[in-house]
Structure 1
Amino acid sequence: MKVLVGAAIAVIAAIVLPLTALAAVVLLDGDAKAADATDGGGGLQGVPAEFRSWILQADAACPEPEMTPALLASQLWAESQFKTTRSEATSEAGAQGPAQFMPGTWVTWGRDADGNGEASPWDIGDAVTAQGRMMCSLLKQAKSSGYGGDPRALALAGYNAGWGAVEDYRGVPPRSFARGETYDYVHDILAELPRFQGSGLLEISGSGSGPDALRRAAARAGTPYSWGGGSPSGPTTGFCDGTNGYLNGSCSASSTVGFDCSSLVQYAYWPSIQLPRVAAAQYGATSSRAVSRDALKPGDLLFWSHGSSDSIYHVAIYAGDGNVLHAPRTGRVIELQPLTSAMPAGDYFGATRP
């Protein structure tokens, strides 16, 4: 991205061949890290694991239906091919990081999303969530502008060249503008969308609190497990308590943005049903509406325990067809698994309907 403060400056900056233009030339480079990633559900595929949860988070934070994880992923690919080093992700125009923010624009959109104490265009979480906020704002602007055409195209053009250029042409600037850079940028990103569009993790029918909660949770498929992480607003870093949250001897949770099992459930049902934070308390809040195993419906909560309601240690959401959606443990991600093997069969405690 080469957006600068002021339309005139944006036009000047667009004359310089940027990193995004170079990326468009090698759009099908099979050596890119994106090719190493697989579809984790939630409508997104082909992105590096370290980008996935941030893309899903940025998408979920935007109410505009035109925003999708695949749109953000395709844009990131065009901007930087998911590169994050200063040598690989600095354009000749001075744009920085995987989302290619100019310093002046970063002041407006950059925040410390990953909680490391610094808002930096080089941090994946900070960059992707800033990209999402800016694109969300541009989509709103595009839809209220009265200009014809796909609002996604207008928003992408605004991201690349500045909204002033879109206003000047009352649409996406033509090939004659900036040697066709913005025109090609928009075309290439939209053309590459199918490459990043994964199938949804689940086909969820019906309405009501259960199916709605399942849809909300399924949109987070692939988000890492983080002990103590997650809130009704989305994934967060967690913490270690002396026993939980560790991976390979170090505290993984404190640097992992994600959910644990109960925060995912709380997030899924919030705000229509405001469940407590931990699994045992969620069972206590819903135990009056127990459900037998042969009567389960999508959205029901399933619990595992070491023997009593006070010893409940895990909760999952029933996804239909004998499967559950859950955040299993440190080192794993939110995923779909058979009920029979999601947790030790002998620990299954029961199910409830919020």
Structure 2
Amino acid sequence: MKVLTGIAAAAVALLIAPIFLIGLAAAAVDRPDIELPDGKGRGLKGVPAAFHPWFLKASQACEHPELSPALLAAQMNQESHFNTKRPFRSPAGAEGPAQFMPGTWATWGRDDDGNGRIDPYDIGDAVMAQGRMMCSLVGQAKRSGYRDDPRRLALAGYNAGWTRVEQFKGVPPSSWALLDKDDPTSGQTYNYVRLIMASLPQFQGPTGLNVSGSGIGPNALRRASSYIGTPYSWGGGTPAGPSRGYCDGTNGYLPNGECSASKTPGFDCSSLVQYAYWPDKQLPRTAEPQYRATAHNPVAKSELRPGDLLFWSNKSGYIYHVALYAGDGKVLHAPRTGRNVQVQDMATAMPAGDYHGATRPQA
């Protein structure tokens, strides 16, 4: 909830919603315990699958390392329990999972998911707007010189407005904007910040691959590892990150016949590789052309290095799968619909008899 008015009475009224939302247990969304590291060396767990790639993307789009995916997830949980149902609106009029007031949404909202609308209920639009606003506030907090954690200051600014942070030269005290007049420590913004910071461990997963070395290969592997845990989406993924895919009559479906790709932001095997190497090496979009583009530099199994590309083909020789070598006999890849980007043993990642060979992209 964002409070940007300078009128104290209106501000107090608008501040009620986030704590009110904590009690909406029925609005909570199931959160699979999927662990998802980001490119800044921090992980994410316990969030709905549809939110995974967006928290990563919003974090990575911010130049301030303080804005981790886990911080955004903890804040979203506090705001709405990841609720995307319509109409989900606070008593003050804040909407969507990130609880934006209409005036604030007009500033920060964009069509980030590319569906042709700018909607506070759309997960991609909401998370990216949350990330942009929080990134700006973290920057203000770091420039302010106030002696407090920039994350705490940014959260206070998101909730009460930066003018309140300036007024108190920090997080508003527990006695400001009381939710319970009989409790002198029930200050809304104070407790909003306290609860989010206390819940961070709930959303912080382990870090990703420990990739050593420099150069185009290790850099590509690091970039791809930032999306471990992201869902597979047939036809999804671009050099800019995860996106929804499509079903073509054969691919993109779950075992029950449901088309997963069209509603799942993610990567397929070759788009993950394309993303990993972009822009250092602008590889083609699909596995077969990626092999042809790099086949002039083949690599034996005994000579594999992190970031090398491994290919599998069917009996006719058509390349149907590509993965990145992750070291120690393992690969990082997007396996198939219903699975997530993950690290697996090279010997079992795909049928051993289909292994076609490896190549080393060069800048």
Superposed pair shares fold, TM > 0.5: yes
Question: Using the alignment, how far apart are the partners of 1:11 and 1:348 within structure 2?
Answer: 68
Aligned AA (2:83): K
Question: Using the alignment, how far apart are the partners of 1:10 and 1:244 within structure 2?
Answer: 56
Question: Using the alignment, how far apart are the partners of 1:13 and 1:223 within structure 2?
Answer: 38
Aligned partner of 1:131 in structure 2 is 130
Alignment deviations for residues 157-216 of structure 1 (CA, whole Å, 9 cap, x no partner) = 111011121222222222232222111111221121111110023222222222221111
Question: Using the alignment, how far apart are the partners of 1:104 and 1:167 within structure 2?
Answer: 21
Structure 1 residue corresponding to 2:311, chosen from 285, 297, 303 = 303
Alignment deviations for residues 271-298 of structure 1 (CA, whole Å, 9 cap, x no partner) = 1222222212221222222111122221
Question: Using the alignment, how far apart are the partners of 1:66 and 1:45 within structure 2?
Answer: 17
Q: Which moved more, 1:274-283 or 1:66-75?
A: 274-283
Q: 1:11 to 1:130 in 2, by over 3 A?
A: farther
Question: Using the alignment, how far apart are the partners of 2:259 and 2:31 within structure 1?
Answer: 29
1:165/1:173 contact within 8 Å kept? yes
SS at match of 2:44: coil
1:226/1:259 contact within 8 Å kept? yes
Question: Using the alignment, how far apart are the partners of 1:40 and 1:31 within structure 2?
Answer: 24
Question: Using the alignment, how far apart are the partners of 1:266 and 1:249 within structure 2?
Answer: 28
Instruction: Please state if 1:353 is matched with 2:360.
Output: yes
Question: Using the alignment, how far apart are the partners of 1:138 and 1:17 within structure 2?
Answer: 18
Instruction: Please state if 1:273 is matched with 2:255.
Output: no
Instruction: Please state if 1:322 is matched with 2:333.
Output: no
Question: Using the alignment, how far apart are the partners of 2:9 and 2:129 within structure 1?
Answer: 22
2:235/2:267 contact within 8 Å kept? yes
Number of residue pairs aligned between Structure 1 and Structure 2 = 348
Aligned partner of 2:111 in structure 1 is 112
Residue segments in structure 2 that go unaligned for 5+ positions in a row? 179-186
Aligned AA (1:79): E
Alpha-carbon distance, 1:243 to partner: 3.0
Aligned AA (1:190): M
Question: Using the alignment, how far apart are the partners of 2:287 and 2:22 within structure 1?
Answer: 47
TM-score (norm 2): 0.88
Residue segments in structure 1 that go unaligned for 5+ positions in a row? none
2:31/2:49 contact within 8 Å kept? no
Alpha-carbon distance, 1:31 to partner: 10
2:35/2:44 contact within 8 Å kept? yes
Alpha-carbon distance, 1:30 to partner: 12
Question: Using the alignment, how far apart are the partners of 1:306 and 1:336 within structure 2?
Answer: 22
SS at match of 1:93: coil
2:50/2:264 contact within 8 Å kept? no
Question: Using the alignment, how far apart are the partners of 2:7 and 2:346 within structure 1?
Answer: 57
1:23/1:77 contact within 8 Å kept? no
Q: Percent identity?
A: 63
Aligned partner of 1:241 in structure 2 is 248
- 1:50-89 mapped onto 2 (5 Å cutoff): 50-86=50-86, 89=88
Alpha-carbon distance, 1:145 to partner: 2.7
Instruction: Please state if 1:39 is matched with 2:46.
Output: no
2:98/2:120 contact within 8 Å kept? yes
Structure 2 residue corresponding to 1:205, chosen from 212, 215, 234 = 212
Question: Using the alignment, how far apart are the partners of 2:36 and 2:323 within structure 1?
Answer: 18
